Amino acid sequence: MSDGSIDHYDRAAQRAWFEQVIGDLHERFADLTEGEPASYIPELAQVDPDKFAIAAMTVDGVELSVGDAHHDFTIQSVSKLLLYGLALETHGRDAVLAKVGVAPTGNAFNSIALDEDPSRAPNPMVNAGAIAITDLVAGDDLDARVENVRAMYHRYLGRLPEVDQAVWASERATGNHNRAIAYLMLSEGIITDRVEETLDLYFAQCSVRVDAVDLAMIAATIANHGVHPLTGEQVVRRDVTRDQLTVALTCGMYDYAGEWAYSVGIPAKSGVGGGILGILPGVGGIAVFSPRLDDHGNSVRGLRVFEELAKEFELHVFDPSRPWRRPLSD
């Protein structure tokens, strides 16, 4: 890179390249009808299945998007990545590892199975591990714990979070499977006896409303070693982001994590609300929103988009060329 004008040209060219690609992919997959919205949460079953957005944000705050990028949806399991960071900051790595492992599981995200060591949950990206992580949220009562989670979301989003009350109520009314997981963990000593309070908090954290740009911003924050790309605030400690990135790469896509690591190869987290965020360390974040899910609980359009982006830009963490990291004039 010889001078600022060339740098500016290259950045502009890279932006134009990326904008063209995501525009083409949005048009290409807009008519896809494979998959259905999550039906086990009644409110989610009612969402418009044809909403579709792709968004990206660089670590220096440049935003690109196409489609329904500002359409709100609930964050769902993407929240697990953020709460995991909060637990690590609050309690430290050893204390968290004592309760929740980090090994990928071939089981479904809502499996009742625990770790090989029954005294801890399998990993923080599946429901058992996420409930155990939520149990670690500090506070003397539910209100205090809710405020801690709200403050965390505020740092990531740059605003106080809005909880979708209808989805929250729907999750509480139909959450008996998660209750079974929680009470099993109580019996094994993994979580404390405030089970219903912890579940209420867990359902609330999953019901926070976001859009695709928000997810890209969250991903860019983690990609930027915890520094928010717009506010400049240190949202989460640098050492914590390393652990977030690791579990996102190995466990973030439910029981599809192995296939994802092979075909896309970047840290990511999905949610049954239809969102997927992908993290490019040192570069930025990409998000896709589409409520049509596959049997693993991942967005069908989201998977297709990320697979194509990985091919076009050689995103895989083990790809030696990675053209998105070098000037286009080379």
213 a catalytic residue: no
CB of 93 within 8 A of CB of 102?
no
* The one-letter amino acid at 285: G
Q: Could you say which of 84, 153, 156, 202 is catalytic?
A: 202
Angle at 309 between CA 304 and CA 314, to 5 degrees: 135
Give the whole-angstrom CA distance, residue 136 versus residue 142: 12
Contact between residue 59 and residue 223 where contact means Cβ atoms under 8 Å apart: yes
Is the Cα dihedral 196, 198, 201, 202 positive or negative? Answer: negative
156 noted as active-site residue: no
C-alpha 124/C-alpha 105 separation (Å) is 11
Q: Which of the residues 47, 59, 78, 80 is marked catalytic?
A: 80
Select which of 96, 254, 288, 300 is catalytic: 254
Active-site option among 96, 126, 137, 272: 272
Q: Please give the Cα distance from 313 to 17 (Å, whole number).
A: 10
Nearby residues of 112 by Cβ (< 8 Å), 6 or more positions away: 128, 177, 180, 181, 184
Rounded CA-CA distance 31/328 in Å is 32
202 catalytic, yes or no? Answer: yes
- Sorted by sequence, the CB contacts under 8 Å of residue 31 that are 6+ apart come out as none
Q: Exactly one of 47, 59, 77, 300 is catalytic; which is it?
A: 77
Does 80 participate in catalysis according to the annotation? yes
| Measured CA distances, 147 to 52, 163, 303 (Å) | 32, 13, 34
CA distance 46 to 41: 9
76 within 8 A of 271, measured Cβ to Cβ:
yes
Q: Please give the Cα distance from 75 to 224 (Å, whole number).
A: 21
Catalytic residues: 77, 80, 202, 254, 272
